[in-house]
Chains A and B, each alone.
Chain A
Amino acid sequence: MPDFESGGERLMHWGMLIDLKKCVGCHACTIACQNEHNLPFAMKYCKVAKVGPVGEYPNITAYNITTGCMHCADAPCVDGCPTGASRHRADGIVTVDPDKCVGCLFCMVVCPYGVRQLNEENGIVEKCTMCFNRLDEGLVTRCVETCQLQARSVGDLDDPDSELVKQIRKHNAQPLYSYLGTKPSIYYIMP
């Protein structure tokens, strides 16, 4: 069962690294995530944006960027949730407890990344869960599993020797819009 309680001894902090040098914007993460979470057709925890091409033909560049919940350490949605539905797990994953969410949409207003959505079918605000149920079982997230380009990985941000942290350091990966100050757990290798 998911652990919706925060606190306790922090053993690790789940984070993700997305390599935009590799991503080709194929939408596999979007679709696989929809299937994993049995989402309505129009709902996407994981979105793909095609950026560019920027410039004038033929002097152009382009890349793709995939976004889901940033699982911020200083998460405005957790701080602002009036019912306590949005919480941090001990491992840093931001969750929404469907039993506590009343669909007030406040978290959607305060999330600077715009990644939360109202599920019209159940009236609850949802978002990427970082597949915590899969992580708890020792699996990787569905988006990591499905990515043919191996552009995504998950691991422990608190462990300086984890492959994730090594790769983040090696490529000087950064969170998206880190100036917002919410300390996201999702890092990007920029193209």
Chain B
Amino acid sequence: MSEIKKTACHFCHMNCGMLATVENGVVTKVAGDPEHPFNAGAQCPRGASALDHLTHPNRINYPLKRVGERGSGQFKRVAWGEALDDIAARLAALKAEYGAETIATTGGTNRTDDFARRRFFNLLGSPNVVHTAPVCWIPNFLTEAASYGWAAFDPEIMGAKCVVVWGHNPGASYLPEMRGLLQAKANGTKIIVIDPVYSETAAKADLWLPIRPGSDNALALAWLHVIINEGLCDYQFIDDWTVGFEELSDRVEEYTPDWAAEKTGISPELIMESARIYALSKPACIQWGVATDQLGRGSSASAQARVALRIICGNLDVPGGDVMPGPHPTFITDWELELNDMLPAEQRAKQLGSDRFKLNSWPGYQLLTDNMLRVWGKSIPAEWFCEANPSTVFRAMATGDPYPVKACIVLANNPLVSYANSKLVYKALKNLELLVAMEYWMTPSAMLADYVLPAASWLERPVMTTTYGVSDWLIASEKAIEPMFERRTDTEFWRELGLRLGQAEYWPWETDEEVFKYRLDPLGLELESYEEFVQCYRMHFAEREYQKYQTKGVATPSGKIELKISIFEQLGYDPLPHYVEPPFSHEARPELAAQYPLSLVAGGGFMPFFHSEHREMTRIRLLRPYPRVAINPALAQQLAIKEGDWLWIETPTGKVKQTAFITAAVAPDVVQAERGWWFPEKEVKDPELMGVFESNINVCVDDDPDTCDELCGSFCSRGIMCRISKVEGND
């Protein structure tokens, strides 16, 4: 018997719709769903590899318990029940001895149903939930939320006259978004790309600003200067809806194009021209890009300046501008599932890093939530937006300071590769009394675990997409088949663990489908089952409403859109856009300039890979067998480097090697290294750990809290001083 199942790809958080052909319980074919609004029937190379992933011989298929030394690679298969019983007992004992905050969890980019993680941790009593959130979207989102009460993350590219793609390369990451950009361009929309690298997206742009790595903040401030001084603002909108314009105008007076040209490497003329194009194209939108979340100190300040740009130009929440969704009015959101009220105030106060990085931890989250409840009736989820600081948590694991962190549950994450300062992360994980990893594969981080648990992949699980719990739409998909072997979903895992720790009354649903049906019930569709929703509706979009500030108000303390952000002021931060020098630049560390003459971009990606994923999949790996560092031909000539040579990349923090990719896409004094590298084919055991310290650029990235973003604790991976040299002999 053959049937078609409406599934969703989970290899990135676009969650494109897929049609899986299932014959007698076996998936025989996966193709794009032509009726899906994101991908319109297409697949990227990751999605096209779904069957390779589903049946790969190296997948973890059964729970494994470590039997040898930590990292020795000796595991034995155990039953799920046995594993969960033991994990629960050990967590309970650690909680009794050190307090619930001794148990932490880390996650990667949104690939799981993380309301379940947060629900479990809130009920457990630990605030120490960690993601890669500070370096991905959260500084931008929360700065926007503080300024106008939610994030305007839904740019209406198709109606825009100008789209600014800032520190983002959808041509190699979000292909559906790239398709939209190209369609808009064909309709006459001007595309401005800001990127130190001549990326796939830059190559398609009308205007490319070749910015010096890490100097985005300076460019945004100069744009503000130009637009305000040349009188290109939307004054009616500013008068009616904003506060702080006078102070902003005074503040940006010093940030002239000449001042910014020196920092950004972009000529004053080009800064002025691009600022005018943006300001005079109405409506226009600024797309979110990950790069500006990764500036370390100044990530949020950079977001703050861009937020002001879209406000003073009147592009906020208008057709063709930066549309702000707000929460869906009826379906049960992630925030509603999290049970944040169950976490006592004294436990909230123990959240690691919250005394310092206040915007994306409990102090800031509480202020934002108070305002959001007033206007929207719902808040953003604590997951992603209210987290312990990764750098602080890993330090606590390694040192016991300020208090011991003895256990960690790693789910959808490979921390040795995903966070800065990999050797510190290693020390931290090695020092744990209990490390649990739920995974598709044996990764370097999983190799250090006490338990490795088998995760169901997307053909084996339903997927409900709500964009990190902050969109006013949802798109639902069913599983194609029951999980193979003993793979399970993360919701099942958290629930099962919760049941063993006395949380039974809060886990009434036995399956993912039951949870999802519960979330859908308020829509009033009188559904028999979750699957019925997928078959009949598949998605639900709240009715689009623009300029919601007019009808709903603004979720800020003043009830206005704040150019001078009072929540920042309340938290002790500068409420106005301002310049913060990049933490590892020659400007900040002149004494190191001679030794480390180059500027490193440590976030390079290669399309079929997703962060640290897919290295195991031969078909994909053959497209990129080794990591590459992009260097300019002039630099290559100067150092006698040939294409493919192995090169050391060295910063004051560490050194790794990658192969030379000689390209004019980067400036002569800039190198761009690929992220996420480890080698599943190498020696799996500690200390080699699949070569996790050989080419993993995060070894070279520092996460000293003094260099992290003051508001969100983001570490800096853009514009780090470095040097390169040829690897000689058998190094």
Q: Which A residues fall within an 8 A CB radius of B? A: 21-22, 24-28, 30-32, 34-35, 41-42, 52-58, 60-64, 145-150
Q: A54-B664, A55-B664, A57-B666 are in contact. Are A24 and B198 (CB under 8 A)?
A: no
Complex contacts, B469 vs chain A, CB 8 Å: none
Q: Are A41 and B619 in contact (CB under 8 A)?
A: yes
Q: A172 vs B716: C-alpha distance in the bound complex, in angstroms?
A: 47
Q: Are B204 and A58 in contact (CB under 8 A)?
A: no
Q: A32 vs B48: C-alpha distance in the bound complex, in angstroms?
A: 5
Q: Mark B188-226, 1 if CB is under 8 A from A, else 0.
A: 000000000010110110001010000000000000000
Which of B174-182, B366-374, B537-545 sits within the interface?
A: B174-182
* Contact among B47, B178, B622, B665 with A24 in the assembled complex (CB-CB below 8 Å): B178
Q: Are B32 and A146 in contact (CB under 8 A)?
A: yes
Q: A52 vs B42: C-alpha distance in the bound complex, in angstroms?
A: 27
Closest residue of chain B to A64 (Cβ to Cβ) is: B200
Q: Output the least CB separation between B329 and chain A (Å).
A: 32
Q: Are A41 and B182 in contact (CB under 8 A)?
A: no
Q: A31-B49, A60-B665, A148-B42 are in contact. Are A26 and B175 (CB under 8 A)?
A: yes
Q: Are B45 and A30 in contact (CB under 8 A)?
A: yes
Complex contacts, B208 vs chain A, CB 8 Å: 58
Whether B238 is near chain A, meaning CB under 8 Å from some CB there, is no
Q: Are A32 and B43 in contact (CB under 8 A)?
A: yes
Q: Are A57 and B179 in contact (CB under 8 A)?
A: no
Show 24 residue pairs from A and B whose CB-CB distance is below 8 angstroms, ordered by the A residue: A22-B182, A24-B171, A24-B175, A24-B178, A24-B201, A25-B200, A26-B171, A26-B607, A28-B42, A28-B48, A30-B623, A31-B45, A32-B43, A35-B48, A41-B619, A53-B203, A53-B664, A57-B664, A57-B668, A58-B198, A60-B665, A62-B198, A148-B42, A149-B178
Q: Output the least CB separation between A144 and chain B (Å).
A: 9
Whether B172 is near chain A, meaning CB under 8 Å from some CB there, is yes
Whether B343 is near chain A, meaning CB under 8 Å from some CB there, is no
Whether B663 is near chain A, meaning CB under 8 Å from some CB there, is yes
Closest residue of chain B to A63 (Cβ to Cβ) is: B203
Complex contacts, A24 vs chain B, CB 8 Å: 171-172, 175, 178, 200-201, 204
Complex contacts, A60 vs chain B, CB 8 Å: 198, 664-665
Closest residue of chain B to A150 (Cβ to Cβ) is: B179
Q: A40 vs B44: C-alpha distance in the bound complex, in angstroms?
A: 20
Q: A44 vs B367: C-alpha distance in the bound complex, in angstroms?
A: 55
Q: Are B622 and A57 in contact (CB under 8 A)?
A: no
Q: Are B31 and A145 in contact (CB under 8 A)?
A: yes
Q: Are B203 and A61 in contact (CB under 8 A)?
A: yes
Q: Output the least CB separation between B429 and chain A (Å).
A: 33
Q: A63 vs B199: C-alpha distance in the bound complex, in angstroms?
A: 10
Q: Are B664 and A34 in contact (CB under 8 A)?
A: no
Complex contacts, B529 vs chain A, CB 8 Å: none
* Contact among B43, B201, B665 with A53 in the assembled complex (CB-CB below 8 Å): B665
* Contact among A27, A54, A61 with B623 in the assembled complex (CB-CB below 8 Å): A27
Q: Are B200 and A35 in contact (CB under 8 A)?
A: no
Q: Output the least CB separation between B184 and chain A (Å).
A: 12
Q: Are A57 and B171 in contact (CB under 8 A)?
A: no
Q: Are B665 and A148 in contact (CB under 8 A)?
A: no
Q: A62-B203, A148-B43 are in contact. Are A31 and B632 (CB under 8 A)?
A: no
Whether B639 is near chain A, meaning CB under 8 Å from some CB there, is no
Q: A36 vs B52: C-alpha distance in the bound complex, in angstroms?
A: 12
Whether B93 is near chain A, meaning CB under 8 Å from some CB there, is no
Whether B361 is near chain A, meaning CB under 8 Å from some CB there, is no
Whether B618 is near chain A, meaning CB under 8 Å from some CB there, is yes
The A-contacting residues of B in range 575-630, CB under 8 angstroms, are 607-608, 618-620, 622-623
Q: Are B42 and A62 in contact (CB under 8 A)?
A: no
Q: A56 vs B632: C-alpha distance in the bound complex, in angstroms?
A: 9
Whether B523 is near chain A, meaning CB under 8 Å from some CB there, is no
Q: A58 vs B196: C-alpha distance in the bound complex, in angstroms?
A: 9
Q: Are B665 and A62 in contact (CB under 8 A)?
A: yes
Q: Output the least CB separation between B218 and chain A (Å).
A: 17
Of A24, A27, A146, A147, chain B has the most CB atoms within 10 Å of the CB of: A24
Complex contacts, B43 vs chain A, CB 8 Å: 28, 32, 145-146, 148
The A-contacting residues of B in range 41-57, CB under 8 angstroms, are 41-45, 47-49, 51-52
Closest residue of chain B to A42 (Cβ to Cβ) is: B622
Whether B39 is near chain A, meaning CB under 8 Å from some CB there, is yes
Closest residue of chain B to A149 (Cβ to Cβ) is: B179
Complex contacts, A148 vs chain B, CB 8 Å: 39, 42-44, 175-176, 178-179
Q: Are B210 and A57 in contact (CB under 8 A)?
A: yes
10 shortest interchain CB distances as A-B pairs: A148-B175, A58-B210, A24-B171, A32-B48, A148-B42, A31-B45, A24-B200, A28-B45, A53-B664, A31-B48
Complex contacts, B664 vs chain A, CB 8 Å: 52-57, 60
Complex contacts, B665 vs chain A, CB 8 Å: 53, 57, 60, 62
Whether B228 is near chain A, meaning CB under 8 Å from some CB there, is no
* Contact among A26, A55, A61, A150 with B172 in the assembled complex (CB-CB below 8 Å): A26
Complex contacts, B201 vs chain A, CB 8 Å: 24
Q: A55 vs B198: C-alpha distance in the bound complex, in angstroms?
A: 12
5 additional contacts (CB under 8 A) given A24-B201, A57-B210, A57-B632:
A24-B175, A24-B200, A28-B175, A61-B203, A149-B182
Q: Are B622 and A41 in contact (CB under 8 A)?
A: yes
Q: Output the least CB separation between B624 and chain A (Å).
A: 9
Closest residue of chain B to A191 (Cβ to Cβ) is: B203
Whether B116 is near chain A, meaning CB under 8 Å from some CB there, is no
Q: Output the least CB separation between A32 and chain B (Å).
A: 4
Whether B649 is near chain A, meaning CB under 8 Å from some CB there, is no
Q: A92 vs B42: C-alpha distance in the bound complex, in angstroms?
A: 26
Q: A146 vs B47: C-alpha distance in the bound complex, in angstroms?
A: 9
Q: Are A35 and B49 in contact (CB under 8 A)?
A: yes
Q: Are A31 and B666 in contact (CB under 8 A)?
A: no
* Contact among A54, A57, A61, A147 with B42 in the assembled complex (CB-CB below 8 Å): A147
Whether B312 is near chain A, meaning CB under 8 Å from some CB there, is no
The A-contacting residues of B in range 415-459, CB under 8 angstroms, are none
Q: A114 vs B506: C-alpha distance in the bound complex, in angstroms?
A: 63
Q: Output the least CB separation between B32 and chain A (Å).
A: 7
Q: Output the least CB separation between B336 and chain A (Å).
A: 33
Closest residue of chain A to B201 (Cβ to Cβ) is: A24
Whether B316 is near chain A, meaning CB under 8 Å from some CB there, is no
Q: Are A27 and B178 in contact (CB under 8 A)?
A: no
Of B39, B201, B608, chain A has the most CB atoms within 10 Å of the CB of: B608
Q: A52 vs B664: C-alpha distance in the bound complex, in angstroms?
A: 8
Q: Are B667 and A58 in contact (CB under 8 A)?
A: yes
Q: A147 vs B41: C-alpha distance in the bound complex, in angstroms?
A: 9
Complex contacts, B178 vs chain A, CB 8 Å: 24, 148-149
Complex contacts, B182 vs chain A, CB 8 Å: 21-22, 149
Q: Are A145 and B41 in contact (CB under 8 A)?
A: yes
Complex contacts, B607 vs chain A, CB 8 Å: 25-27
* Contact among B32, B49, B172, B200 with A145 in the assembled complex (CB-CB below 8 Å): B32
Q: Are A145 and B619 in contact (CB under 8 A)?
A: no
Q: A148 vs B172: C-alpha distance in the bound complex, in angstroms?
A: 11
Q: A25 vs B200: C-alpha distance in the bound complex, in angstroms?
A: 8
* Contact among A31, A58, A147 with B620 in the assembled complex (CB-CB below 8 Å): A31
Q: A150 vs B41: C-alpha distance in the bound complex, in angstroms?
A: 10
Q: Are B42 and A145 in contact (CB under 8 A)?
A: yes
Complex contacts, B663 vs chain A, CB 8 Å: 53
Complex contacts, B47 vs chain A, CB 8 Å: 28
Q: A57-B664, A61-B203, A148-B176 are in contact. Are A27 and B45 (CB under 8 A)?
A: yes
Complex contacts, A27 vs chain B, CB 8 Å: 45, 607-608, 623
Complex contacts, A34 vs chain B, CB 8 Å: 619
Q: Output the least CB separation between B25 and chain A (Å).
A: 20
Closest residue of chain A to B210 (Cβ to Cβ) is: A58
Closest residue of chain A to B14 (Cβ to Cβ) is: A148
Q: A32 vs B203: C-alpha distance in the bound complex, in angstroms?
A: 25
Q: A53-B663, A56-B664, A58-B208 are in contact. Are A26 and B619 (CB under 8 A)?
A: no
Complex contacts, B175 vs chain A, CB 8 Å: 24, 26, 28, 148-149
Complex contacts, A56 vs chain B, CB 8 Å: 664
Q: Output the least CB separation between B257 and chain A (Å).
A: 17
Q: A25 vs B44: C-alpha distance in the bound complex, in angstroms?
A: 11
Q: Output the least CB separation between B207 and chain A (Å).
A: 11
Complex contacts, A62 vs chain B, CB 8 Å: 198, 203, 665
